[in-house]
Amino acid sequence: MSETPENEIPKQYNPAAAQEKWSAYWDEKGLFTPKSGGLTPPGSPFCIVIPPPNVTGALHLGHALNNTLQDIVIRMKRMQGFDTLWIPGVDHAGIATQAVVERKLFEEEKLTRHDIGREALVKRIWDWKEKYQERIIEQLKAMGCSCDWSRTRFTLDEVCAKAVRHFFFKLFKEGKIYRGKRLVNWDTHLQTAVSDDEVFHETVAGNFWYIKYKICIEEWAECQENYAQKLEECEGEKLSAKGRELIAEYRKEITDFKQQNNLDPGYVVVATTRPETMLGDTAVAVHPDPEAALDKAIENCKQKLANASEKEITEIQAELDAIEQRKTDGTLDWLKIFAELAKTGWHVTLPLLNKKIPLVLDEWAKPEKGTGCVKITPAHDPNDYEVGLRHDLPFVNILNKDGTLNDNAGTYEGLTVKQARAKVVADLEAAGLLVKVEEREIELAHSDRSKTPIEPFLNDQWFVKMDELAQAAIDAVARHPRASGELEEQVDCLGSRLRGNDDIIQIIPHRYTKGYVDWLSEKRDWPIGRQLWWGHRIPIWYCEASGEKRVESDEFLRKAFAGRDDVIWQLDTEKNVWRICSQTEDLNEDAIPGCKIKQEEDVLDTWFSSALWPHSTLGWPDDTPELQRYYPTGVLITNRDILTLWVARMVLAGKFNTGKKPFNEVYIHPKILDKYGEGMSKSKGNGIDPISIINKFGADALRFALAYLTTENQDIRLSLDFECPHCGAVVEQTKKNRTSVKIQCTQCKKYFLTQWARDYSEQLSPEDRSLPEGTMTGERFEVARNFCNKLWNAARFVLMNLEPFTKEKSKEAEALSPAKEFLEDKWILSRLATVTKNVTDDIENYRFADAMRQLYDFAWDDFCSFYIEISKNRLNDETTKERVQFVLVHVLTSLIRLLHPVMPFVTEDIYQRLLETKFWQQNGYDTNVPSLAIARFPESHEELISPIIEKQFAIFQELLRAVRDVRASRNVPPKTEITFSVRCDEATAELLEPMKQYFLSMAKAKATAFGPAVQSPALVSVVPLTGMDVFVDLSDLIDVKAETAKLEKEIAKLDGFISSKEAKLNSDFVNKAPAQVVEGERKSLAELQTQRQSAAEALAKLKEVKP
């Protein structure tokens, strides 16, 4: 070869080229697919299933983190020889995706889903899904994820659908699925129920209306005698003066009523933030014992006051005053009266609709709140629903599914909730029934999907009974941290985590276990139906059970499905229909002779299919080789937000379907936050596309930066800004511009596009579309990019120095034997062994930041700053050259293997270049491993770890730093060589002797002498170090004044340390602390005193020299 390698290797690593080249290469070699032919290659199986991203949109940095960590783990395992499989895929995300597509449909075409129909809408969603699935997979590939792309799954595909059907059937068969009327969170915009978890609360300005409900005149008349008697009894009890006054008033009213027979006898006042719901009221509740309840409230309040901080006192005091006032201002007396009325079965008239509704006694009515009485709307309020059940009240639904009022609302039918509210209020006011209106902030439930207010709505719903399922999922996790001392049977004797235990799942970090267990412990039944069009349709068919025979007997069904065990049914007695569940196939309309059957319209909750992900992707319910080999999977790596919604349900579904846990471990990683500390999300517009980072810094830098920041208990805050593609200026990302598709540069005033232009290109004019896209820039990624480049250049150096090499047959092992004494070799090999051991251990325990920091420090500080620098001398010397070449290659190849899981592209690129060298090919290195991705992950040569060597080398480093410091601080010109000597013990001198040449090459400093006899020359800068005095000869350069000042400062500092140490050694410390620690302190004091003495001597000498 005539060209030197120098000409081939660019000075800067080019990520784009490497990414393109090696992605294709890995693909072509099929490295990420388990070897076909029986699925039994050597190595234990290790499988990860991807948390399938939603097809709602493209991935952001949160996903990038999630997938980077998975890839690090799977790549390491692969290199360790495991038979690895990482299954990729995406989630159909029912509500979310349908909402996105519907919104787009409305924005662009002003059409609703009802305008285009089920089939057309579903088709559009499929189109959307295809587009985003493709984009997501592209993003994952760009990040370098080593998934087996041939097994990409989608939660709605056939494989998953089959699993869903089997799961549903199994639940149905075991009686764990039921249908019932429940109050659900109704999204009037999307017209579907959403689960509690899909609801968020937002504070909005609202009103508090006080409404009069008249006590029924008819009742009044009927019961007046009875009532008068009750009042007498009341009076006998301890009523306040005000109460007596009211009784008197009341009695007068009764008298008046008797006389006139048309007088308003009284009313109950209730307060509400949702006045329109009064149309669905079926009772008014009052507390059965208002006085006791009020006393209790006062007591609670007082207690709170006693524990309150100063800031809260005023507020709580005001609250307490307000409650106490109720005892004297008549409120309590009225409540007592109402309670009596309720007890004797009185009614009130529901205004506007003029319906008679009962007064009921219920503890839900808190005397300290509102007016003390509360209107009960069982069909539209969760608490009222409970009251309704307790008192067997009618459930009057006043809403249609679209959020308008239905015919139960009388003249208000057809109005929207908002319109109805206005009209109800106006009508009440006109009727003189509105007492007052207060302004008030209210926490309003909103749908997370449509961002519109939730209406509680009574609806038929499918549920899964959670009792046993949830318990199984609770029992499946390790409840105690390692070595906690509790429940020792779950913690092995070494206190490390139990791995491979058949039943127990470890949640890491352990603190998340509590949330998981608490959530499951509520065992709230799981509402699984969604009134959507996008999802797995519930495999239930209804058959009208008309005709008495059919109601009583299922004979006709048995006949229709004779010999089939994949169809089962149950009778809905309330509606008189058969519910038929089919496990495998959809049923035809005419599957039952003489009877038309109809499939359930609802689809299943997205989590119903996601819950099956670990086993459905492996082929369950079929007993596939994959399922046998890879299930349970190794680890699930995910976000804490879905620990309950998803992880818990995967565990319960996995246990239920397969009898086994779905994964051995769950690792919960931090959350990516933006510069304002907000989580990234598509709707906020702060979700950065990883491609923007990759374009600017490269995939390796993205991955390294994220892993470097993944610590155990801190979320990752990333401050990112735009970089103008025209002038390179940094344009701050603000809350305002982060959602824009186009931004104007603050510097050059030209426009550029953002990542959103990729999603919303239709918002751009044709000329805008040709604008360049700005990249995102951020400090953390710069650091990581620089690290990639550092590694690249270290490799470049090594590659450039491999030729010529000695052709004699030398083996790496020989070169690495400790026989030949080179301190720096032993040192770097010791460091490498330590780092290898730690990094392996850290990644296995998900301590990513620790692993990355060690690799970064080792590569940069140890390998580049010291070993490579030192090697330069030896490479020029034929006698030492060969050995240093071997060490360089050994460390470099180890390093790129260690780094490959996190930085796959740059390391592969380096590896491939090494493979091409003659040095590699002719020195007995393995040339049969075509890619670093399947090379062996380094194993630590622990026998090479030597704390003594590392300590000795540290002396050299310390000395070098001291000499360099003298140079820098005394402004010695860079080209001027200086000389120095060191007073130290014999052993240190011996150690330093061979390092002489390196002081010269690395600090342009010539060492004249080492040893105990070394004397301080006249004009020196002295640096007292531990066990050494360094004398740097500055004859021509010294500034006596500055040097004196420096030494005086040094002495003062030492004196400070010395006196504090002396004080310590004169205290109780010597008696109480362990002898070892005391000894250490004594030594340290002696050392300080020696240092001080050296400094003092030097100072004395300086003072002799007159400037």
Q: Which of 534, 536, 614 is CA-nearest to residue 89?
A: 614
The nearest distance, CB 558 to RNA, in angstroms, is 43
| Cβ neighbour number for residue 875 with a 10 Å cutoff | 19
Per-position DSSP letters for 502-532, written without gaps between them: SSPBEEESTTHHHHHHHHHHT---EE-EE--
H-helix or E-strand spanning residue 140: helix 113-142
The nearest distance, CB 560 to RNA, in angstroms, is 43
User: Is 537 or 1064 the residue whose CB approaches RNA more closely?
Assistant: 1064
The nearest distance, CB 987 to RNA, in angstroms, is 18
The nearest distance, CB 80 to RNA, in angstroms, is 23
User: Is 239 or 1073 the residue whose CB approaches RNA more closely?
Assistant: 1073
Residue 440 CA, distance from chain mean position: 35
Angle at which helices 649-658 and 467-475 cross, to 10°: 100
The nearest distance, CB 1035 to RNA, in angstroms, is 20
Residues 6+ away with beta carbon under 8 Å from 450: 99, 187, 189, 190
Q: How far apart are CA 955 and CA 961, in angstroms?
A: 10
User: Is 583 or 639 the residue whose CB approaches RNA more closely?
Assistant: 639
Residue 132 carries which side chain, given as an amino acid letter?
Answer: Y
Q: How far apart are CA 515 and CA 665, in angstroms?
A: 16
The nearest distance, CB 183 to RNA, in angstroms, is 11
Residue 503 carries which side chain, given as an amino acid letter?
Answer: D
The nearest distance, CB 326 to RNA, in angstroms, is 11
The nearest distance, CB 850 to RNA, in angstroms, is 7
What's the token pair of residue 532? 């959507």
Cα separations (Å) of 177 from 102, 349, 462, 463, 551?
30, 41, 7, 6, 21
Cα separations (Å) of 1008 from 65, 108, 221, 805?
54, 83, 120, 34
Cα separations (Å) of 131 from 136, 137, 390?
9, 10, 51
| Cβ neighbour number for residue 158 with a 10 Å cutoff | 9
Residue 271 β-bridge partners: 210
User: Is 210 or 613 the residue whose CB approaches RNA more closely?
Assistant: 210
Length of the chain: 1107
User: Is 226 or 1067 the residue whose CB approaches RNA more closely?
Assistant: 1067
The nearest distance, CB 126 to RNA, in angstroms, is 30
The nearest distance, CB 718 to RNA, in angstroms, is 8
User: Is 176 or 287 the residue whose CB approaches RNA more closely?
Assistant: 287
User: Is 916 or 1081 the residue whose CB approaches RNA more closely?
Assistant: 1081
User: Is 577 or 891 the residue whose CB approaches RNA more closely?
Assistant: 891
**C-alpha atoms less than 13 angstroms from C-alpha of 952 in its C-beta half-sphere:** 22
The nearest distance, CB 325 to RNA, in angstroms, is 16
Q: What SS3 state is found at 634?
A: strand
Per-position DSSP letters for 986-1043, written without gaps between them: HHHHHHHGGGHHHHHHHHSEEEEEEETT----SSEEEEEETTEEEEEE-TTT--HHHH
User: Is 226 or 303 the residue whose CB approaches RNA more closely?
Assistant: 303
Q: How far apart are CA 546 and CA 592, in angstroms?
A: 14
The nearest distance, CB 972 to RNA, in angstroms, is 9
User: Is 513 or 582 the residue whose CB approaches RNA more closely?
Assistant: 513
**C-alpha atoms less than 13 angstroms from C-alpha of 260 in its C-beta half-sphere:** 10
The nearest distance, CB 656 to RNA, in angstroms, is 23
Q: How far apart are CA 663 and CA 650, in angstroms?
A: 9
The answer to whether the CB of 369 falls within 8 A of the CB of 270 is: no
The nearest distance, CB 411 to RNA, in angstroms, is 22
The nearest distance, CB 366 to RNA, in angstroms, is 3
Q: How far apart are CA 367 and CA 293, in angstroms?
A: 7
User: Is 290 or 403 the residue whose CB approaches RNA more closely?
Assistant: 290
Q: How far apart are CA 839 and CA 855, in angstroms?
A: 8
Cα separations (Å) of 222 from 263, 342, 789?
15, 15, 94
User: Is 281 or 600 the residue whose CB approaches RNA more closely?
Assistant: 281
Per-position DSSP letters for 931-982, written without gaps between them: -GGGSPPP---GGG--HHHHHHHHHHHHHHHHHHHHHHHTT--TT--EEEEE
The nearest distance, CB 858 to RNA, in angstroms, is 12
User: Is 123 or 524 the residue whose CB approaches RNA more closely?
Assistant: 524
What's the token pair of residue 790? 């550092």
The nearest distance, CB 482 to RNA, in angstroms, is 11
Q: What SS3 state is found at 268?
A: strand
Residue linked to tokens 């010397």: 877
Q: How far apart are CA 360 and CA 353, in angstroms?
A: 19
Q: How far apart are the first and last CA of the chain?
A: 62
| Cβ neighbour number for residue 643 with a 10 Å cutoff | 18
User: Is 104 or 853 the residue whose CB approaches RNA more closely?
Assistant: 853
User: Is 154 or 338 the residue whose CB approaches RNA more closely?
Assistant: 338
User: Is 488 or 678 the residue whose CB approaches RNA more closely?
Assistant: 678
The answer to whether the CB of 1008 falls within 8 A of the CB of 980 is: yes
Q: Which of 1007, 1008, 1021 is CA-nearest to residue 1098?
A: 1021
User: Is 381 or 605 the residue whose CB approaches RNA more closely?
Assistant: 381
